[in-house]
Structure 1
Amino acid sequence: MATVFIVVASAAFVTTSVVRHNHTRAAIARVMTGGDPGRAPAIFRRYGCAGCHTISGIPGADGQTGAPLTELSKRVYIAGVLENRPDNLVAWIVSPQRFSPQTAMPQSGISEQEARDLAAYLYAQ
Structure 2
Amino acid sequence: MVVGAAVLCGLVAAAGGAAGLAVSRERADTVARAMTGGDPERAPDLIRRYGCAGCHTIPGIPGADGQVGPSLDGLRRRVYVGGVALNRPDDLVWWIVDPQAFSPRSAMPATGIAEAEARDVAAYLYAR
Aligned partner letter, 1:48:
G
The alpha-carbon deviation at position 17 of structure 1 amounts to: 2.2
CA distance in 2, matches of 1:65, 1:17: 34
Moved over 6 A (4+): none
The alpha-carbon deviation at position 80 of structure 1 amounts to: 0.5
Q: Does 1:88 align with 2:121?
A: no
Structure 1 residues without counterparts, runs of 5 or longer: 1-12
CA distance in 2, matches of 1:119, 1:21: 18
Q: Percent sequence identity over matched residues?
A: 61
Structure 2 residues without counterparts, runs of 5 or longer: 1-16
CA distance in 2, matches of 1:108, 1:91: 12
The corresponding residue for 2:57 is 54
CA distance in 1, matches of 2:94, 2:78: 17
Map 1:1-125 → 2, pairs under 5 A: 14=18, 16-125=19-128
The corresponding residue for 2:4 is none
CA distance in 2, matches of 1:56, 1:23: 16
Alignment: residue pair count: 112
SS in 2 for 1:20: helix
CA distance in 2, matches of 1:17, 1:87: 28
The alpha-carbon deviation at position 18 of structure 1 amounts to: 1.1
SS in 2 for 1:68: coil
Task: Give the TM-score normalised by structure 2.
Answer: 0.85
